[in-house]
């Protein structure tokens, strides 16, 4: 064993190697030195456990590999060719060019995040989006926190801590990532009172549950699943009327954040924020990075008095939205006010693209491939909305289908695409790699074709 230890080179010798020096030129001598020490120490432990000492070249390779893992930025851009428009694992909604430019503008220097330029005194970050939110939704007031789960948690804690919240049993859902409404309720300190059954709930069920300690009537939109058949649910207007009559506020957790009528795009109706506000709901919570098409954010709109209570609640500071997200959110909301969200917000650009245009682009991708040694074609398919929005709804699409020998070969090609210089994510079905143009912006076609050619050859 001692002879194995004596074969270990010094750190200085490793650092003098040309390959390691190239690493230091890219990163820094200090950072690469630390990686080299950690690598040698790891080898020492393996030798002590009975392994043989690796060769010098193997040690240099290990240093390079460890440096690549430790000193390379892991969060990177991905082209989404899966056909899922709002792909949660791929970062949900991509931002408009204008929203990205707005983020860059405030990121490159200082900003008036919490500074009133007119008075020269301290301002509030909430002011940057409140007027936009009220104009877009018709609500009296509004503000943003860092995501919709935070928005719901804040509303529950500020308005219903140690009190009762009435919810239909059919809406006691899991909202993703293992987070469940009962768990969120428990964390908030509110007591959940479930009424009705999984498939049927009536106004009378809510009314019977209201007592002296009831603080909120809660509706949770089932945005990521659908119950059909023998069902009955309470209309929002009925819930609002009951709340007013009994003096109990109504909180509507919409989740998806639709501001446009989805039926105009051949999809089922997704409840819109404006509809909830018009129905008289006291507070509405929704996401910024789903159908709204903006950055991650939890948006809360509704009655001014309640909004002010939420803003002043101590938890609001811990959940506040950052300056970059605020900049992107401002610009995204301006797209809706200016009437050009369909043309500028990527989510809506993808949804409204005609199937004929999607097919034309699939044919373009196909024509760029060498089909003499490749089985490829364009086929009909379906895109989904995703992101906990419009469950079961699809849009017609055309797919580039590359036929491989078997599912394993198709998976290997998909892996090469994911791990290439520009990551492209598709899907594998029955020995075919499928790539959907609907979820790839047209300006990314050239890059996708290049990445595909690199993975194939």
Query: Where residue 232 sits, what CATH number does that domain have?
Result: 3.40.640.10
Residues 128, 330 contacting (CB under 8 angstroms): yes
pLDDT over 70 at 88, yes or no: yes
Residues 327, 129 contacting (CB under 8 angstroms): no
Give the residue from 281, 289, 320, 330 showing the smallest Cα distance to 150: 320
pLDDT over 80 at 226, yes or no: no
Q: State what percent of residues in the chain have pLDDT above 90.
A: 80
Same domain flag for 334 and 198? yes
Summarize pLDDT for 358-383 with one digit per residue, the tens: 999 999 999 998 765 789 999 999 99
pTM for this model (two decimals)? 0.90
First-to-last CA distance in the chain?
A: 46
Same domain flag for 19 and 128? no
At residue 200, φ and ψ (nearest 5 deg) are: -140, 125
User: Given this model, what pLDDT does residue 2 score?
Assistant: 73
Q: What distance in Å separates the CA atoms of residue 25 and residue 34, rounded to the nearest whole number?
A: 15
Residues 302, 142 contacting (CB under 8 angstroms): yes
Q: What distance in Å separates the CA atoms of residue 202 and residue 166, rounded to the nearest whole number?
A: 12
Same domain flag for 316 and 363? no
The domain boundary, picked from 294, 314, 344, lies at 344
User: Given this model, what pLDDT does residue 183 score?
Assistant: 84
Q: Which residue has the tokens 């989805």?
A: 262
Using a 10 angstrom Cβ sphere, with 0-12 exposed, 13-18 middle and 19 or more buried, the burial of residue 315 is middle
- Average pLDDT value for the chain: 93
Domain count, the chain: 3
User: Given this model, what pLDDT does residue 356 score?
Assistant: 97
Q: What's the whole-number mean pLDDT along residues 68-75?
A: 87
pLDDT over 70 at 224, yes or no: no
Same domain flag for 188 and 253? yes
Helix H segments across 87-180?
A: 97-107, 127-137, 148-160
The domain boundary, picked from 344, 370, 393, lies at 344
Q: State what percent of residues in the chain have pLDDT above 70.
A: 96
Summarize pLDDT for 264-314 with one digit per residue, the tens: 999 999 999 999 999 999 999 999 999 999 999 999 999 999 999 999 999
Q: How many CB atoms lie within 10 A of CB 19?
A: 12
Same domain flag for 315 and 361? no
Same domain flag for 150 and 248? yes
Q: What's the whole-number mean pLDDT along residues 257-266?
A: 95
Q: What's the whole-number mean pLDDT along residues 152-179?
A: 87
Higher pLDDT, 22 or 330: 330
Q: What's the whole-number mean pLDDT along residues 31-60?
A: 93
Same domain flag for 83 and 103? no
- Output the CA–CA distances (angstroms, integers) from residue 453 to 111, 261, 280, in the order listed: 43, 39, 55
Same domain flag for 335 and 385? no
pLDDT over 60 at 225, yes or no: no
Which band of pLDDT confidence, cut at 50, 70 and 90, is reported for residue 227? low
User: Given this model, what pLDDT does residue 371 score?
Assistant: 64
Residues 402, 375 contacting (CB under 8 angstroms): yes
Query: Where residue 82 sits, what CATH number does that domain have?
Result: 3.90.1150.180
Same domain flag for 371 and 340? no
Same domain flag for 179 and 303? yes
Which band of pLDDT confidence, cut at 50, 70 and 90, is reported for residue 387? confident
Same domain flag for 339 and 384? no
Q: Which domain holds residue 59?
A: 2-69
Same domain flag for 406 and 308? no
């Amino acid at each position: 064993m001692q002879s194995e230890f004596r074969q270990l080179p010094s750190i200085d010798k490793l650092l003098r190697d040309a390959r390691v020096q190239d690493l230091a030129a890219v990163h820094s001598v200090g950072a690469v030195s630390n990686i080299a020490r950690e690598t040698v120490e790891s080898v020492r432990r393996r030798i002590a456990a009975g392994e043989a000492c690796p060769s010098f070249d193997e040690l240099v390779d290990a240093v390079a590999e460890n440096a690549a893992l430790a000193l390379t930025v892991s969060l990177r851009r991905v082209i989404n060719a899966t056909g899922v428009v709002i792909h949660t694992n791929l970062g949900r909604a991509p931002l408009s060019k204008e929203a990205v430019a707005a983020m860059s503008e405030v990121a490159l220097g200082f900003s008036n995040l919490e500074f009133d330029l007119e008075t020269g005194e301290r301002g509030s970050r909430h002011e940057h989006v409140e007027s936009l939110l009220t104009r877009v939704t018709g609500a009296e007031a509004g503000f943003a926190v860092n995501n919709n789960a935070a928005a719901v948690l804040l509303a529950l804690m500020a308005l219903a801590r140690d009190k009762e919240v009435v919810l239909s049993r059919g809406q006691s859902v899991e909202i993703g990532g293992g987070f469940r409404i009962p768990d969120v309720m428990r964390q908030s300190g509110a007591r959940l009172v479930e009424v009705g059954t999984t498939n049927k709930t009536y106004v009378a069920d809510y009314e019977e549950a209201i007592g002296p300690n009831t603080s909120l009537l809660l509706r949770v939109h089932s945005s990521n699943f659908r119950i059909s058949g023998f069902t009955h649910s309470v209309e929002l207007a009925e819930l609002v009327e009951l709340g007013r009559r009994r003096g109990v506020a109504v909180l509507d957790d919409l989740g998806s954040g639709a501001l446009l009528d989805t039926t105009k795009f051949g999809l089922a109706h997704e409840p819109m924020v404006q509809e909830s506000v018009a129905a008289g709901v006291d507070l509405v919570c929704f996401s910024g990075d789903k159908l709204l098409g903006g950055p991650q954010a939890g948006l809360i709109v509704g009655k001014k008095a309640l909004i002010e209570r939420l803003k002043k609640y101590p938890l609001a500071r811990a959940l506040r939205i950052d300056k970059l997200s605020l900049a992107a959110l401002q610009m995204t909301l301006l797209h809706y006010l200016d009437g050009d969200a369909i043309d500028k917000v990527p989510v809506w650009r993808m949804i409204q693209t005609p199937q004929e245009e999607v097919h034309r682009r699939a044919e373009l991708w196909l024509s760029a491939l060498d089909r003499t040694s490749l089985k490829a074609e364009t086929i009909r398919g379906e895109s989904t909305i995703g992101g906990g929005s419009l469950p079961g709804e699809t849009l017609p699409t055309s797919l580039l289908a590359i036929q491989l020998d078997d599912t394993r070969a198709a998976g290997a090609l998909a892996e090469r695409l994911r791990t290439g210089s520009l990551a492209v994510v598709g899907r594998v079905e029955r020995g075919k790699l499928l790539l959907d143009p609907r979820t790839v912006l047209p300006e990314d076609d050239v890059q996708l074709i290049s990445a595909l050619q690199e993975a194939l050859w």
